[in-house]
A and B are shown apart, each in its own frame.
Chain A
Amino acid sequence: MKIGILVSEGPYTHQASDTAYNFVKAAIEKGHEIYRVFFYHDGVNNATRLTEPPRDDRNIVNRWSELAKQHNLDLVVCIAAAQRRGIMDENEAKRQGKNADNLAEGFRISGLGQLVEAGIQCDRLVTFGD
């Protein structure tokens, strides 16, 4: 089954990103296809490579990046929500005249249409948020 995921909260403050991660792993293990993980609202904060949690804690951002690499996941960050919250890839930083970018490996920035499109293409769309 084709499953889309919407993550609406950032890492650490809420459990949403953890639950989404555990769900995605379990779905892959069961042989389902994760069509896309879309990050919206504060969920875009899951995509900053500048997080540095304590060593004895999980690294939520890296965990997503690694899962994406292993399973060729499409991790999409909403551009409008990302711009509001200071999440940028190299191209966008250049375009906006910023001197730094922070998008973590395995994520890409795109439009909200990617969420609606996931809703259309997937058999299920599961939202994790606050």
Chain B
Amino acid sequence: MTDEMMDEEGVIKKFMFVNRKAPYGTIYALEGLEVVLISAAFEQDVSLAFVDDGVYELKKTQDTKALGQKNFSPTYRALEGYDIEKLYVERESMEMRGLTEDDLLVDVQVVSSAEMADLMAEQDVVISF
């Protein structure tokens, strides 16, 4: 807990939610996002990482009408309103999938694998979905 600070509210830890799964095929992305939203209420230092198929969660123009599932992708754009503003995408994962930053529906910071490694290493709590 080297990075923890104390203030009047209590402990503030660095939480990183690592998203590695594509949406719709499994529920992990959606239920992962539910944890992220709840975490906002705890006023922690929250960041989100999108690696591997998790990058697909941020793909623009998702349309789930024919699936009968809810399209939850607009929620990523709403995260800013919850003061969750640190969204990191690993460049290699994105490029491997033929995507560029223009394909993503929200502003993110695209980082190298080494930068992502450093970001993960500095967290207190890493939860992956």
Contact = CB atoms under 8 A, between A and B. Distances in A.
Contacts of A111: 38
Contact of A116 (B31, B38, B128): B38
Given A41-B28, A127-B127, A120 B38 contact: no
B115 interface: no
B127 A120 contact: no
Contacts of A123: 1
Contacts of B11: 120
B28 A116 contact: no
B41 interface: yes
Interface in B34-91: 34-35, 38-39, 41-42, 44
B127 A112 contact: no
5 contacts: A115-B35, A116-B35, A116-B38, A116-B41, A116-B42
Given A115-B38, A115-B127, A120-B10, 6 more contacts: A6-B127, A116-B35, A116-B39, A116-B42, A119-B15, A127-B127
Contacts of B39: 116
Contacts of A127: 127-128
A113 B39 CA distance: 7
B18 to A, nearest CB: 10
Contact of B127 (A80, A81, A113, A119): A119
